[in-house]
Amino acid sequence: MVPTSWYLILAAALFCLGMVGVLVRRNALVVFMCIELMLNAANLTFVAFARERGDINGHLSAFFIIAVAAAEASVGLAIVISLFRSRGTVNIEEVHSMKN
Amino acid sequence: MDKIQTFFQTAPVDPTSAGQALWLIIALPLLGAFICGVFGKIIGRQNVHLVALGAVGGSFLLSALVFWTINDFRASAPTPFGAVSYAVGADFGTWFSAGTFKVTMGLMADHLSGSMLLVITGVGFLIHLYSTEYMSHDAGYWRFFAYLNLFVAAMLTLVLADSMPLLFVGWEGVGMCSYLLIGFWYDDPAKAFAGRKAFITNRIGDFGFLVGSFILVLLVESIAALPAEKLNRAGEQGSAVVERYQQALSAKGPLAFSVVEETAKTLPNLLEQTIVAGPLFGRSYGTMLMVALLLFMLGAAGKSAQIPLYVWLPDAMAGPTPVSALIHAATMVTSGIYLFCRISYLLVLSPTVMVTIAVIGATTAFVAALIAFSQTGIKKVLAYSTVSQLGLMFLGIGVGAFWAAFLHVVTHAFFKACLFLGAGSVMHGNGDEEDITKLGGLRTEMPVTWATFAVSTVAITGFIFPLSGFFSKDAILDAAHHNHIEGYAGLQQFAWVLGTLTALCTAFYMLRAYMLTFEGPRAKDAKLKHAHESAPAMTAPLVVLAVLAVVSLVHGLPLMHVTRGGETVTQTLMENFLDPVFRTTNDLIAQRKAVEIAEEHGAPWATWAFAYVIALIGGGTAVLIYGRRLKLPDALEPLRKLSFNKFYVDELYELVLIRPLTFLSKAFFRVIDSILIDGIGVRGTAWLTQRAGGMLRYFQTGDAQMYAAVMALAVAGGLVWALLRVAS
């Protein structure tokens, strides 16, 4: 059996990838995908621990996160689309509106 | 005769239920005040009159019933030290408590407060009746009657209270109503100022009252903490006394009058000893008692217009005349005397305080009488006369003639209210002319006012023949002459001389005011050619008060013969009537011998003759001078001016007290308010916030990724920290 630490290292790597993506990418869609990546990294940790402990709760949490991620994806995509419609771009550098 | 006596000593109501219904006497005028104040404008003038008069009238009927009840031999008020006979009362539970300190809501009526009840509601009703006519042209009628009813309620609280704090509620209540009514015509700045002056002067006195009662609490509690053997009293076991005392303290609190009275009974053996525990540690009981009583004297001086706080009363005449009659002559200003009658058992333990009160009273009486000599406003003369008469009452208190002082309270309420209302009637009929030099000849034009004013003048001076005021004043002066205050015989005789001179002056200035107003030809510069007599609603109270001023002389006659220790002592009706109230006081006088009360055997003809001659000299001079409108010789002009300007006391206060105070306030305003509070406190906070914001705003870039990066870094930092914690 593959040891749990491998899964965790993979999850950490995925999380860092996602985080760096969120922090440095300019395309809103890519940022969005990176968030999904971070969520899945968390999912992977849950499932890995659940497997090691033989516990169903971890799986349950993973399902919850998948459901929430789906909802978040639909809302987020809708925002990205309406953003594109109103501004004609999905570059977040150009849609600063929090400071004026 | 026996049948009449039995009739008056058998009350139609059960004394216990009468005690429990005492609150109704206060509640009625309070309700009246509420209705007049809130709905007065809606329900109209006639209904306001009905409500206000009905409330006070109902209160009077209840008071009469209570008065009847306290004459009942079955009447007894429950106190923690056993029932008090000839009194009714009830306790309505705890008012507030803090730790071991407790105050209960208790009302009690004995012979002292019973008489006050009748005076307040009786004279109050007459003055309400008078006001319906006097204020008939005033748009603020509803406000006026609301205040007047509120005043009656507060004054009734003051006299019915069975503890210091509740008495203080009434004390403050009457002060507030006095302020509201003096400044009743508040759109006149001078009148509003007079109201504020009265209020502030009274606050100084109230401060004394409060601190005095705090010391009294400490005193009572330090006695309660004493070991049993120190509390020994004649015929009683120490432990029994302590137990009862403790029970009373936990039931009624240290400031109930019954507890204070019990304290007074314990004090004589303790006066020279030092207090061993508590905040008063190291001082003697006698000193602390003296300090407390002197502070109470300050309070009484404020309320009852004595030196040094008398200056507000003459200015209080800015209010409507019925107010002057009710508040500033008959009732409120006598509450200082009432207070001292209540706690007379403490007073007789301290001859120093007694003589202080006597000298202050006599000096006030004399100075005020001198000022009254030259005043031209009829209300001003009466105001200074009131200050002077109140001074005489304090002289009576100071020499141990408590009953005489109280008798003077009652008779003074009648004749001075009558004089004030008469003055109001004169002003009402003469186009609000107040200057007595511009009146004159009103005898024929205002016959009822003239007759009642004349009777009251005779009552206050004793001129022509002795009426009520003659006997009460003479009883005070007699006591000042013959009683004996331990260690202060000289000062006491000095007070007596001042008191006698006051009697002389009283006759002079009252006859002067009377002659100038009613006799002789009408002044050339009179406002109206002919005066008109006032309406019956105004003259009827005058007649009733004048009759009372005559009838109440009976109380001053030595008609009662009491056998005391095998000797027959003559007492006046009032002295005999108030005997149950002053029982403890008399016991303490006999035990402590700080004050000796001269006993009368038969009528004091010699003193009466002397007093009568004094009145004749004073009054006769005035009649001779002002009957013929003689001009004052020029040599006396500076004296007249000095007296007319009230010895420049107001100006002196202005210079010594008010100016430095204003200066200090301004200094404080400049330094503390402008610099510390405004500059550093308020503007400093704004400056700091602005600066902090100015620096912090550079961190707000509006870049969400930047924020996320900061968050991520912070989380990473936290992780590192947690790892290091785990590793070490």
- Determine which of B108-117, B197-206, B422-431, B591-600 has the lowest per-residue pLDDT on average: B591-600
Tell me the pLDDT tens digit for each residue of B397-454.
999 889 999 999 999 999 999 999 999 999 888 888 888 888 878 888 888 999 999 9
pLDDT band at A13 (very low <50, low <70, confident <90, very high): very high
pLDDT band at B654 (very low <50, low <70, confident <90, very high): confident
Tell me the pLDDT tens digit for each residue of B17-32.
888 889 999 999 999 9
Model confidence at B361: pLDDT above 80: yes
Instruction: Name which of A19, A31, A98 is nearest B702 (Cβ-Cβ).
Output: A98
Q: Which residue has the tokens 């004090």?
A: B267
Higher-pLDDT residue of B432, A51: A51
Tokens of B195: 């109201």
d(CA B565, CA B559): 19
Tokens of B470: 């003659």
Model confidence at B567: pLDDT above 60: yes
pLDDT band at B562 (very low <50, low <70, confident <90, very high): confident
Higher-pLDDT residue of B384, B100: B384
pLDDT for the residue numbered B697: 86
Contact call for residues B259 and B80 (beta carbons, < 8 A): yes
**Mean per-residue pLDDT, B596-621:** 83
- Tell me which H or E stretch contains B509: helix B489-518
**Mean per-residue pLDDT, B620-641:** 82
Paired with B98 in beta bridges are B101
Tokens of A36: 């999904």
Q: Do the Cβ atoms of A99 and B701 come within 8 Å?
A: yes
pLDDT for the residue numbered A65: 94
Q: Which residue has the tokens 């109440």?
A: B552
For chain A, the residues whose C-beta falls within 8 A of a C-beta of chain B are: 19, 22-24, 31, 92, 96-100
pLDDT for the residue numbered B407: 93
d(CA B685, CA B687): 5
Contact call for residues B39 and B146 (beta carbons, < 8 A): no
Instruction: Name which of A24, A98, A100 is nearest B704 (Cβ-Cβ).
Output: A98
Q: Do the Cβ atoms of B705 and A22 come within 8 Å?
A: yes
pLDDT for the residue numbered B231: 67
**Mean per-residue pLDDT, A87-91:** 86
Chain A residue with minimal CA distance to B707?
A23
Contact call for residues B556 and B603 (beta carbons, < 8 A): no
Q: Is B252 left (phi over 0), alpha (psi -120 to 50) or beta?
A: alpha
Model confidence at B234: pLDDT above 60: no
d(CA B564, CA B569): 7
- Determine which of A70-74, A93-97, B449-453 has the lowest per-residue pLDDT on average: A93-97
Distance from CA of B705 to the nearest CA of A (A): 5
Q: Which residue has the tokens 């004995």?
A: B110
pLDDT for the residue numbered B364: 94
pLDDT band at B464 (very low <50, low <70, confident <90, very high): confident
d(CA B344, CA B264): 10
Instruction: Name which of A31, A96, A100 is nearest B703 (Cβ-Cβ).
Output: A96
pLDDT band at B488 (very low <50, low <70, confident <90, very high): confident
**Mean per-residue pLDDT, B513-531:** 83
Q: What share of chain B is helix, strand, coil (3-state, %, to 5)?
A: 75, 5, 20
Model confidence at B115: pLDDT above 80: yes
Q: Is B136 left (phi over 0), alpha (psi -120 to 50) or beta?
A: alpha
d(CA A31, CA B397): 96
pLDDT for the residue numbered B232: 60
Model confidence at B212: pLDDT above 80: yes
d(CA B259, CA B415): 36
Contact call for residues A7 and A41 (beta carbons, < 8 A): no
Tell me the pLDDT tens digit for each residue of B276-302.
777 888 888 889 999 999 999 999 999
Q: What length does chain A have?
A: 100
Percent of chain B with pLDDT over 70: 98
Instruction: Name which of B701, B702, B712 is nearest A23 (Cβ-Cβ).
Output: B712
For chain B, the residues whose C-beta falls within 8 A of a C-beta of chain A are: 700-705, 708-709, 712
Contacts across the A-B interface (CB distance below 8 Å): 22
* SS3 category, B598: coil
Tokens of B716: 């990473």
pLDDT for the residue numbered B665: 93
Contact call for residues B51 and B35 (beta carbons, < 8 A): yes
Model confidence at B113: pLDDT above 80: yes
Tell me the pLDDT tens digit for each residue of B669-728.
999 889 999 989 899 999 999 999 999 888 877 778 888 889 999 999 999 999 999 988
Instruction: Name which of A19, A22, A96 is nearest B702 (Cβ-Cβ).
Output: A96
Percent of chain A with pLDDT over 90: 62
- Determine which of A5-14, B189-198, B318-327, B700-709 has the lowest per-residue pLDDT on average: B700-709
Chain A residue with minimal CA distance to B698?
A99
pLDDT for the residue numbered B276: 79
* Contacts with B709 from chain A: Cβ below 8 Å: 23
pLDDT band at B273 (very low <50, low <70, confident <90, very high): confident
Strands B595-596 and B484-485 turn out to be: antiparallel
**Mean per-residue pLDDT, B50-73:** 91
Write down the H helix ranges in B280-401.
285-303, 312-315, 321-325, 335-342, 344-347, 351-372, 378-398
Q: What are the φ/ψ torsions at residue B305 (nearest 5 degrees)?
A: 55, 60
d(CA A19, CA B141): 81
**Mean per-residue pLDDT, B569-579:** 85
Closest CA to B173 of B222, B132, B120: B120
The CATH code that applies to domain A4-88 is 1.10.287.3510
pLDDT for the residue numbered B544: 94
Closest CA to B394 of B473, B320, B456, B469: B473
d(CA B375, CA B379): 9
Peptide bond preceding B633: is omega within 30 degrees of 0, i.e. cis?
A: no
* Contacts with A98 from chain B: Cβ below 8 Å: 702-704
pLDDT for the residue numbered B236: 64
pLDDT for the residue numbered B725: 94
* SS3 category, B321: helix
Max avg pLDDT among B236-240, B390-394, B462-466, B528-532: B390-394
Among B696, B697, B705, most A C-beta atoms within 10 A, so best to mutate, is B705
Strands B101-109 and B484-485 turn out to be: unpaired
* Domains of chain A by residue range: 4-88
* Contacts with B702 from chain A: Cβ below 8 Å: 96-100
pLDDT, averaged across chain B: 88
Closest CA to B370 of B509, B277, B466, B232: B509
